[in-house]
Amino acid sequence: MTSKTRLWTIGFTAVVSANANAAIDHYLAWEVVPHVTVNFTVKLSDQFLDPEFIQVNLDRIVRFSNAANQDNAGYIHQDNHFDWYRVIAAPNPCPKQVTFSNKFGVNQSVKLDSKERYLLVPTRKGIGPSPQEIDHYLCYVVIEGVSVAQNPLIEDQFLTPAQNMTITFPRYFCNPVEKIHDEVTTPIVNPNDFLVFYENGLHPAYGNNINAKDQFNDTLGWTLPITNAFYLGVPSVKVSESCIPAVSEWGLAVMGILVLTAATVVIQRRRAGLETGN
């Protein structure tokens, strides 16, 4: 058993206590428009990836997240933020079916895309303090999920006073991820804390530039034009995961033969009916 396998096994047995004492906040994800172009290469390792580490490229910053206060529950670390980097990589892993639980429901199930992903990098805003006790996250796009139809009261550093939001479909499932960049390894802090980002129908606007400093640009920081908030990230517990079997080339060939055979039978029966006058 590899060290990575041991980590995930230990994490899974502790899932109940992790849910009772979540180490992460909710997060409101704001769009960065236009995107900020970058060019970085990193190695990543999470609970889905095989082999243990894969090398990927990061080509742009697309969103920025603030810690959010839901229903006046308060913050854990109000000054924690994320820059969202788009990940360019070959498809990996297999498409996943994941079941998870959070404040919006027990045993929610989603299907994930194996191609499109985003790396969430802990970030400090302006002259604010450095992020505390927070992981990097690798977010997978949800291609099939059910709306939770919730209406929580949300505020963050851009959205004050708090507003009720219309939270619907899950759009991203995010694993804590280990990152290697320039031979520096950033390990996972909270292996049992996941984030699920849901679509937010309110889309509040901010409309200002901010300065965001992360591990890729900690001196000058990025200038990010912030527009609207489209997603709310909710601390979640992963219940189970499984691969969605892919249809092999042989399977597609067999399916094609069956369809062709059925169509031939239908045509022959229709011809026989015409010949007999039925």
Of the candidates 123, 135, 138, the residue with the CA atom closest to the CA atom of residue 173 = 138
Residue spans per domain, the chain: 3-246, 248-278
Amino acid 93: pLDDT:
75
> Could you read off the pLDDT tens digit of each residue along the chain, which spans 278 residues?
344 443 443 333 333 333 334 579 999 999 999 999 999 999 999 999 877 899 999 999 999 999 999 999 999 999 999 999 999 988 777 889 999 999 999 999 999 998 899 999 999 999 999 999 999 999 999 999 999 999 999 999 999 999 999 999 999 999 999 999 999 999 999 999 999 999 999 899 999 999 999 999 999 999 999 999 999 999 999 999 999 886 544 444 445 555 555 555 555 665 665 555 55
Neighbours of 25 (CB within 10 A): 25
Amino acid 260: pLDDT:
59
DSSP letters, 151-181, are --EEE-SSS-S-EE--EEEEEEEEEEEEEEE
Pairing of strands 96-102, 81-88: unpaired
Contact 136, 185 (CB under 8 A): no
Amino acid 235: pLDDT:
98
The C-alpha angle with vertex 39 and arms to 38 and 42, in degrees rounded to 5, equals 120
Q: Is 77 helix (H, G, I), strand (E, B) or coil?
A: coil
